Amino acid sequence: MVEASKEVKIVLLINAIVALIYGFMYFIIPDITNQLNDGPYYNPQFYQLFGGTCFTLAIIALLAVKRGEWENLKTVLELGILWLIFVLIINFWSFAYMPYSTTAIASQAFDIIVVIIIIIVDIWVYLRESK
Amino acid sequence: MTELSKELKIVLIINGIAAFIYGFLFLVIPEIYYDLSDEPYPNVHLQRLWGGTITLLGIFALIAWKRGEWETGKIMVELAMGWLLLVCILSLASFAYVKRSPTNIASTWSDVIVTLIFFLMDLYFYLKQKKG
């Protein structure tokens, strides 16, 4: 087993913190989040399922950091990168069919920027560690 | 490197297939799935996010199966178990606050049962591999 570098662990911790924030918003306070986002077609169950998924991914990232093995961290990092790319594509795609208000567009744009930043950081650290 | 047991590899493939079926329903044909399950709050964007997540978990179940190592497969099985348990609990909890039609109640119950079976199957073979 190869020990992961400090940078990978820090990046995964940052991922986990962001996931916990989104998890809190969608899982614990979905009604308030929906009002803040001005989201059309509010679906409380799917808000909570999405928030719960963010929580689960954060817990798995923390578990991998705790174990500290690159083999584990690599899998979690790959999952994180691909999941964020999926989220990014689907968020962009949603502009084509969702009737967003100006507030909702701003909220979506903010989410997209956060996701892009995390994807770039994740890919950078993944390639660096793989080398 | 410890090799994944044959049972756990089969379990990962079954997980992957089920994930692709649900992923297809939510990601590719969300409107049709809404009609089939008589969903009370249609939100295609969230449905697609959900379907994308399930599809990706399916892809990673197959990656873990292909690599065949317990060290990398372990964290994927743990993720799957945690996620399935969460989905099961949240789906059950949603009966308290989502107004459902009889069709949607039946659809949600079938999801809960499928999720529970997968969780128990994953847990059983995970513990078996861990002990062995």
- What are the chain B neighbours of A40 within 8 Å (beta carbons)? 43
Is the pLDDT score of A12 beyond 90? yes
> How many residues are listed for chain A in this entry?
131
Q: Cα–Cα distance between B71 and B1 in angstroms, integer?
A: 7
- What are the chain A neighbours of B4 within 8 Å (beta carbons)? none
Q: Which two tokens stand for residue B23?
A: 């992923």
Is the pLDDT score of A64 beyond 80? yes
Whole-number pLDDT of residue A15? 96
Verify whether the Cβ–Cβ distance B46 to A50 is below 8 Å.
yes
| Mean pLDDT, residues A45-63 | 93
CA distance B123 to chain A (A): 16
Which among B47, B71, B93 has CB closest to A72? B71
Is the pLDDT score of A1 beyond 80? no
Whole-number pLDDT of residue B53? 94
Find, among B30, B126, B45, the residue nearest to B79 by Cα.
Answer: B126
Is the pLDDT score of A2 beyond 90? no
Q: Measured between CB atoms, does B31 come within 8 Å of chain A?
A: no
Percent of chain A whose predicted confidence (pLDDT) is above 90: 79
Whole-number pLDDT of residue A14? 96
- Quote ipTM for the complex: 0.86
Q: Cα–Cα distance between B105 and A37 in angstroms, integer?
A: 29
Q: Sorting pLDDT into bands at 50, 70 and 90, what band is A94?
A: very high
**A vs B: CB pairs below 8 A:** 108
Q: Measured between CB atoms, does B29 come within 8 Å of chain A?
A: no
Q: Sorting pLDDT into bands at 50, 70 and 90, what band is A24?
A: very high
Cα dist. A53→A47, A49, A69, A84 in Å? 10, 6, 23, 12
Verify whether the Cβ–Cβ distance A1 to B86 is below 8 Å.
no
| Mean pLDDT, residues A30-36 | 93
**CA–CA–CA angle A75, A79, A84 (5° rounding):** 150
Tell me the DSSP string of A36-58.
HHT-SS--HHHHHHHHHHHHHHH
Residue B3 forms beta bridges with which residues? B69
Contacts of A23 (CB under 8 A, 6+ apart): A51, A52, A54, A55, A58
CA distance B110 to chain A (A): 16
Whole-number pLDDT of residue B40? 84
**Chain A: residue nearest B26 by CA?**
A46
Q: Cα–Cα distance between A47 and A38 in angstroms, integer?
A: 13
Q: Sorting pLDDT into bands at 50, 70 and 90, what band is A71?
A: confident
pLDDT, tens digit, for every residue of B114-125? 999 999 999 999
Residue stretches of chain B with pLDDT short of 70: none
pTM of the model: 0.90
Residue A3 forms beta bridges with which residues? A69
Q: Determine whether B82 is exposed, middle or buried from the number of CB atoms within 10 Å of its CB (0-12, 13-18, 19+).
A: buried
Q: Measured between CB atoms, does A56 come within 8 Å of chain B?
A: yes
Contacts of B61 (CB under 8 A, 6+ apart): B12, B13, B15, B16, B19, B76, B80
Q: Measured between CB atoms, does B2 come within 8 Å of chain A?
A: no
Q: What rounded mean pLDDT belongs to chain A?
A: 93
| Mean pLDDT, residues A67-89 | 92
CA distance B101 to chain A (A): 15
Whole-number pLDDT of residue A88? 95
Whole-number pLDDT of residue B12? 94
Find, among B114, B116, B43, the residue nearest to A41 by Cα.
Answer: B43
Whole-number pLDDT of residue A41? 83
Is the pLDDT score of A72 beyond 90? no
Which among B49, B83, B87 has CB closest to A87? B49
Find, among B34, B59, B36, the residue nearest to B48 by Cα.
Answer: B34
Verify whether the Cβ–Cβ distance A48 to B41 is below 8 Å.
no
